[in-house]
Amino acid sequence: MTGDDLTVLHLDQFLPHPPAKVWRALTEPELIARWLMPGDFRLEVGHRYTMRGVAMPGTGFSGVVQAEVLAFTPGRMLRLGWRDADPGDGAGVDWTVTWTLEPEGTGTRLFLAHEGFDPDDPLQRRAHTIMGGGWRSRVVPALADVLDRLPFPDDRRSLPDDLGADLAAGRPGHTKG
């Protein structure tokens, strides 16, 4: 994690896997469940789904996330809205999580921006600290483990069929709105 901005967490991680393989792990529900949280994800702007993780006492985070696909560019970027589904007495959380993939050699440079922390809220400052460590020490290693175990003989075969057509037509991706 980098920077002193308490409203956002940034991660920059090299993965020795082709971007198409990383994209699969970010967008296939059965793979997402192995490294992040189970949920009914579908790669469709506006799709809403619930994920169940571990509650973080003392942070205002219940562990139940109402998520929404906000935007994506096939094979390159995925932006999700995350809201606490059960904030209890607190205001809960309202975060945006953006994954960006860039080819680097035979692997992928993965960028994460986890935005929306309120630095004036002591519970959210605590969540920022805990999650900053969690992305690096738990989530990304779990993602790397899934990628290491995922058979993937040819990275071009798992790119979406319309990726080349979208890019050639000047349609870089999909957004809500």
| Residue-wise pLDDT tens digits, 7-44 | 999 999 999 999 999 999 999 999 999 999 999 999 99
Domain annotation for the chain: domains and CATH numbers: 8-154 (3.30.530.20)
DSSP 35-86: HS--B---SSTT-EEEEE---BTTTTB-SEEEEEEEEEETTTEEEEEEEES-
- As beta bridge partners, residue 17 has none
Mean pLDDT on 52-75: 86
What gap in Å lies between CA 36 and CA 17, rounded to an integer?
18
pLDDT range class, residue 61, cuts 50, 70, 90: confident
Mean pLDDT is highest, among 102-116, 117-131, 151-165, for: 102-116
What pLDDT score does 164 carry?
Answer: 40
What gap in Å lies between CA 43 and CA 153, rounded to an integer?
23
Tell me the percentage of the chain whose pLDDT exceeds 90.
58
Other Cβ atoms within 10 Å of 119 Cβ, number: 11
Alpha carbon 134 to chain centroid, angstroms: 13
